Structure formats: structure tokens, C-alpha cells
Amino acid sequence: MKVLGIDPGTHRIGWAIVEGTPNKQLAIEHGCLEFPPKTPSSIYLPKIYDFFTSLISKHDLDAVGMESLLFQKNVKTAISVAHARGVIELVTYQHHLTLHTIAPNTIKSAVAGHGGASKQEVIHMVGLLCNIDSSRLIDDECDAIAIAMTTIITYQ
């Protein structure tokens, strides 16, 4: 199974292509799509669309996994993240892919063994399980790998 994992945001979106089975996963490609703070949505939303359209077109994917939207105290930020998620969902559906929305505790449980795992435990396990130096990754990038791994572990 080959999956695109996405840690959604507005000005920084982690993404990862992971391939494997529930017992073994390999991070193929990963990164972070970033925009300067205060970039207007009229600029970053079309760029998100173009980036994920290109990325999905380049890979023969089976599914997309995306972290669920957490409740946020800052309504403006929550709305901005929801807009970015909507663009990503649109691209996913245009490519006829299944989208799995995954809660943070499910990701922690699948990757680190328990839903209360710390950020450091998840980073460590991503590195260990995918045989990469996860300490050098941006948090959002590492989270995207964990989301893709969880999608494979949970939905294959």
C-alpha cells in the first residue's frame, strides 16, 4: 500500500509518501510545504492545490491520510486550517482516492504503542520503524510520516 500522509496547517503543511504493509513501512519521500507568516489565503490556497495535485499525480497512491482538525481556541486559525484541509480534500477526491481522517491519539497509538505518547516518543518510533534519522525532520514532516504509517497500519 502506498499512502500520502498530511499534517495540515495553513503556513506549514507536513507531507510524506510512505509505502508498506502493517508490519513494515518505508518513507519514500517527505517534506514540508511552507509559506511566510501573514501570506494571504488567496496566495497559499492555490499553491496548496497545485502542490498536492502535482505530488499525487507523480505517485501511484492507494489512499491519503490526514490528521483530524483539533479544536482550537483561535477561531481565525481554525478556519484557515479548515480551508487548507478543504483544498487538500478536493485534490484527493479529484484523483479518486480514499481520504482517512485520523485522530492524534490514534496516530500515537499506531506508531508508539499508546495514545498518550509524547511528541518525542513518536519522533523516535518514526525513525526506528522507517529507518531514518527522524531527529533531523521538522515536526510537521515527522507527523506526516506517522500519519501515513497509521493509515497503512489501520486501513490496509
Residues that are catalytic:
7, 67, 140
What's the chain look like in SS3? Answer: CEEEEEECCCCEEEEEEEEEECCEEEEEEEEEEECCCCCCHHHHHHHHHHHHHHHHHHCCCCEEEEECCCCCCCHHHHHHHHHHHHHHHHHHHHCCCEEEEECHHHHHHHHHCCCCCCHHHHHHHHHHHHCCCHHHCCHHHHHHHHHHHHHHHHHC
